[in-house]
Structure 1
Amino acid sequence: MRRTPMQNLFKSLILLLTLAILVNGCSTESPLVKSVASPGHVPSSGDADGFLIVDCLLPSQVRQLEPGTISLTQRRPIKTSISDCEIRGGEYVVQDRSDYAAALKVWLAKAKAGDPKAQTYVGEIYEKGLGVPPDYEKAAQWYQKAAAQGYASAQMDLGFLYERGLGVKQDSAMAEKWYRQAAELTEEADIELVAPTQSSNECEEVARLRQELEETKPLVAPVQSSNECEEVARLRQALEQTKQKVAELQNKLQMHERGAKRRHSKNKRRETGSNKLPLGTYHALIIGNNQYQHLSKLKTAVNDAKVVDELLRTRYGYKTTVLLNANRYQILNALNQLRQRLTEKDNLLIYYGGHGELDEVNQRGHWLAVDAEPDSTANWISNITITDILNTMSSKHILVVSDSCYSGTMTRSSLTRLEAGMTPEKHLKWIKKMLKKQSRTALTSGGIKPVLDTGGGQHSIFAKAFIDTLENNTEIMAAYKVYRQVAALVNDAAAATRFDQVPEYAPIRYAKHEAGEFFFVPKGASTKIAVLGTDAGVQTFRFGL
């Protein structure tokens, strides 16, 4: 019996639905959490966990290819919030409470299909361990696959393994190679800028005038006195004529040299100064916690936050969000709103001042909201939670400035300064490349140790150093230079109190850092870079004219 197109379609739907049940039903054997949220579900005021970032496996979709023919798409893995995953009907893994097998279930199929982002996530799963000891060799293998496709995050991760000798033989040269590839500074020639040169005719004319001048100068010499008046008069006349010729040659030479300099400066300004640096819009989330409900109260964090807010708004033109004495829900909610709103054209600075704590079991640092309790981690915000949120943000450049105890656990990784010893031309090229590459870095008040809450007058030692550095800055300044100045000020202040506090600056691991850099740009500072002049063949550049 012949079937109608409608009957064929109905049969195909039955088969695909059966297949979907079988495919999705397999997940009952894994620890993935099945979503049960109704459409439009958002975290309530008491449900801060809804903002946590998870590995989410979206359900398959039924698509009609042509009349009477439909297909079932593969399930798609994404990183998103728990609430978003539930709204979209997905299954998810909360990495803090999962093992690597569950996490692999989300990403492995796509990684095997050759997707570099999925391959990087699989490498991170093996590197982290997630319930089992880390497998650095497998992590290196997956990073290698993604790095070979030019995926910058994987190149940074692979460089880190080579630097530390994890899963691969320790090799600083290989580490630098991958760091340079991530930054797209693969060869020395890549960051060379060739200065405009004079035309060949112009050079020949200047050379000819110089030679004629040198040949004429010996003729200009004092004459001996003579009793013969006519001879003396003749010599004096010849002397005056020679002096005039020398003056004319000197004037011509100076005119050619001045013209050459003007043309050189004009060309160089056209090359370096006419293109505005693509800095984007700057945003800041500023958190200051003093009034803790279950912990000792702090003295300076709120005032630090207020001053940082005013400084970033009035002097640097930031759009700021300020949270004072914030609980866990408020902090995660603010981060989630920024995650949803900001684009790749935005930059984000996150400033946190408050209590910090170290989980002794796994050596994991935490920010403590004002509702945190000393004997319960329920309202603690782990560095992993913050890192996962940063991983899913679209912002081009993100800098976390953390003034809390144990904040250094966020940055237990290397930072390669590729621009050390660069000429001005190479430094300019470096800045342009750093602006193109994504950055996720952290400036912390100390390593895995307690830090001082006071010592800087109305500010903590670290906050005062950070505020003073930004207040005194007048030009475009890279975040690592801010770190250098802050570290020097903190070191001097801490030494005076006989306290050991060493700020740190490094990429945030697993946050998709791509070797870029965060820049501070004061209001009124131009985003152009121009040549001021040339002295002894060395060109002088000024940033922020």
Structure 2
Amino acid sequence: MRLTLQRGTALIAVIAGLGAGLIGATHLATAGEEEGREFMQAGEYGKAIQELQPLADQGSPTAEYLLGEIYFGGHGGDMQQALKWMTASAEQGYAQAQARLGMIYAKGLGVPINNVEAYRWFALAARGADPKAQLKTISEANRGAIAKRLSPAERSQAEALVEDWRPAGAPVIATPKQSEGVIGQVGQVIPGIRIQLAAVKNADEATPEWARLQKTLGTQLDGLVLTVESVDLGTKGIYHRIQAGPFTDKAAAAAKCAVIKQMKQDCLVVVRKKP
């Protein structure tokens, strides 16, 4: 559904106000982050990155957020790195990063416009922000504006993503069989809805490839279990497909793929039914 010019203009104005106030309102937990912020305000982005990078590597959500802001501003790194760090912060539940991701997907800042993702992150920011903070009010307003862009099916998908979301690092409850993953035999149909990320020719490469994907995609694979689907492609030989899941429905899997593709990683949804 397309917004009228009046509604679209209102949304952009609210989002712009959010972006302008993010850095100044950030609560910084460590001295290194404080120094990084001061370097950012002075325009010394190289020094800011030197302060923030080690902290971001250690998983500090505020450092990840600030590093993402630097890269989105074009002061080092690239858009892929910017999205990586902003997403890592948001996935830990940092409301300001969640609101920023909402803005990024709503306006298509370096990524295609994705209204489902925009709604999801604005909704999570509104839920997690301080009730008395302007961030909560703005996020709620933007969530409402984005909702007008969504079809009923898209709204249902977005609400499901909000409901299912858990902060990165939260315990994932799974049966032992699920946590071990599933390695299929050639031609075996493994029922379920999953996302396919890669394929390897040697079975021994499957586990290392999964480890590489976990490192590259970070929190995007949290809670997902490896499934290796082996297929015989005739003259091309046998391939072992690296898949992750399970998902409750195709919409949830498609939404995950949309985010992963923004990180320059191939991704497609696979649905396997019982034979």
Tell whether the structures are fold-level matches, with TM greater than 0.5: no
Greater helix share, structure number:
2
Greater strand share, structure number:
1
What TM-score, normalized to structure 2?
0.36
Q: Which has the larger radius of gyration?
A: 1
What TM-score, normalized to structure 1?
0.22
